[in-house]
């Protein structure tokens, strides 16, 4: 079970790191031009960068507390926060009719729920 939790948390951390880094360093116009980037129209550049920073923090919070054995309960807390972020993402993508992206966010939500429950 521990190995499955590490794999799940690692997968989410990679997703969060990649998505967060892209949102932090890529200009809003370039994000909007990418497939699936239509959601950026409803957000300011600062809000997009803020979401990116939250994702970068999530990447750290999903693995570092347990890896370093410093307040390992923070992995579960981070997973719950990721779940909240995925609810917002699913709502945003649903409003835009991006059903495939809704399914992706639901899958990430499920993986995060597994990590949260498993690490508590």
**All structural domains of the chain with their residue ranges:** 2-119
| Single pTM value for the model | 0.92
How far apart CA 28 and CA 37 sit, in angstroms, is 9
DSSP letter string, 40-73: GGGS-HHHHHHHHHHHHHHHHHHHHHHHHTSSTH
**Alpha helices, DSSP H only, in the chain?**
2-25, 28-33, 45-68, 73-95, 99-119
| Residue range 10-37, pLDDT digits in tens | 999 999 999 999 999 999 999 999 988 8
How far apart (Å, rounded) are the C-alpha atoms in residues 20 and 54?
7
Mean pLDDT of 65-81: 96
């Amino acid at each position: 079970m521990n190995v499955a939790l590490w794999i799940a948390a690692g997968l989410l951390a990679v997703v969060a790191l990649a998505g967060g880094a892209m949102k932090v360093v890529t200009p809003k116009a370039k994000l909007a031009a990418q497939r699936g980037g239509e959601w950026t129209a409803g957000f300011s550049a600062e809000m997009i960068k803020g979401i990116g920073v939250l994702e970068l923090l999530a990447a750290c919070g999903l693995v570092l507390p347990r890896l370093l054995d410093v307040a390992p309960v923070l992995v579960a807390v981070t997973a719950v926060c990721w779940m909240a972020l995925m609810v917002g993402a699913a709502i945003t993508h649903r409003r835009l009719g991006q059903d495939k992206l809704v399914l992706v966010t639901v899958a990430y939500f499920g993986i995060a729920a597994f990590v949260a429950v498993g690490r508590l």
